[in-house]
Amino acid sequence: MKLHEYLNPLHGWNDSSAVDKVRVYTRQSFLLIVVGVAVAAMLTSLQFDDYLSIAAMAVCAAATFVVVQRTPALGGESTADPRIPLAIMAVGAVVLVAGGTTSNALWAAVLITTAVSTLIPLRWCLATAVAAAGLAAALGSPAVETLVLGLFIAFMSFTVQLSAWLLRIVTELDATRDAAAALSVAEERLRFSRDLHDVVGRALSAIAVKSELAATLARRGDDRAATQMDEVRVLAQESMADARKLVRGYRSVDVASELDGARSLLSAAGISTELVGETSVLSERAAEAAAWVVREGVTNILRHSAATYCRIELTDTGIRLTNDRPGASTGRNDGTGLSGLRERLVAVGGTLDTERTTDEFTLTAALPTEKLRTTP
């Protein structure tokens, strides 16, 4: 560290977080109170040449200083056991009070309250204030001094407890903010992985089907193999474009395009497709949700069934995909893709249900409702 940085009292402060600044401020405030009380008490005792009280105050203040440093609730950085300095502080306070002046009792009360208030509940601190005032009255102290002693203890107890509470709230708020930031990152990663699965999964399924068809045609010497490979190239390019849009965060899907792509893809896989309903009855949000359902539903059919038939039904409030010859159940309700689709639909106010029998698999989605979109 450079010399001017070491001598600069603000070095490190400007780089500290808001919570660290509050913690340092709280700790230093009470340490300053301890030092101020010690100086005032020793100057008072010095006027009466009461050197025993001066020594007792020095010991009591030093012990209180250490206790504050070892109290995390007041911003202390040390986690060492505070019981030994608390015992030393108690002995010093007894000697200080035994000096005989009311001022010494007040100084001792401030130091003890500062050190102990965070270690016991506030109600016990207030009870201690009443007990101390009662003891002072029983020992013959004037009523005004007794009242001041009780108020001193109660005020310092409330001040210390309030400062500790404020520091705890600030620390919890900072932790909550960090947790919210981490949650936002996790949600974004989940969204990205879900979208990537939807985009790449469907594209790879389509490429696999069309590549297999092209290979079969090529073995037969059929010229349509070149056409199928051209379609594979187009699919790869479209998938790359979708992936780039996904990274940029503004990719959208069109239900009409998805239905056309689904019909073409299922046909290439030897699956006859029946479409019932019109896309014009869907609202904008419902249309986008329906597009995701079509995309993931068709991918699911290609991956997990040996279907020969698929029926897609569209209404203004929902969409249903039904296929025959479903694959064997894996023991879960649905796959990762359908789970991601369900989360996507729930986020926009929709639902997703699946029903499997030995002969059929049905995917039903309830779509969000909004004003109808304008169709060209």
The whole-number average pLDDT for the span 135-153 is 80
What's the pLDDT at 239? Answer: 78
Above 70 in pLDDT, residue 4? no
Spatial separation of the C-alpha atoms in residues 32 and 22, rounded to whole Å: 15
For the stretch 198-256, pLDDT in tens is 767 777 778 888 888 889 888 888 888 888 888 888 888 887 877 777 665 555 668 88
User: Quick check: 43 pLDDT over 80?
Assistant: yes
Higher pLDDT, 306 or 245: 306
What pTM, to 2 d.p., does this model score? 0.52
Place of tokens 């249309």: 287
Q: pLDDT tens digits for 154-183?
A: 888 898 999 989 999 988 888 887 776 677
Q: What is the three-class DSSP state of 69?
A: helix
- If you average pLDDT over every residue of the chain, what do you get? 82
- The two structure tokens encoding residue 11: 């070095």
pLDDT of residue 143: 82
**Coil/strand/helix, residue 220:** coil
Q: Is the dihedral of CA 208, 213, 214, 220 positive or negative?
A: positive
Does the pLDDT value for residue 334 go beyond 60?
no
pLDDT of 11 > 60? The answer is no
Q: Tell me the one-letter amino acid at 178.
A: D
Tell me which residue has tokens 């932790």.
175
* 271 vs 15, more confident: 271
Cross-strand partners of 364: 320, 353
* Residue 373 pLDDT grade (very low, low, confident, very high; cuts 50, 70, 90): very low
Average pLDDT over residues 13-37: 84
* Spatial contact of 334 and 286, defined as CB atoms under 8 Å apart: no
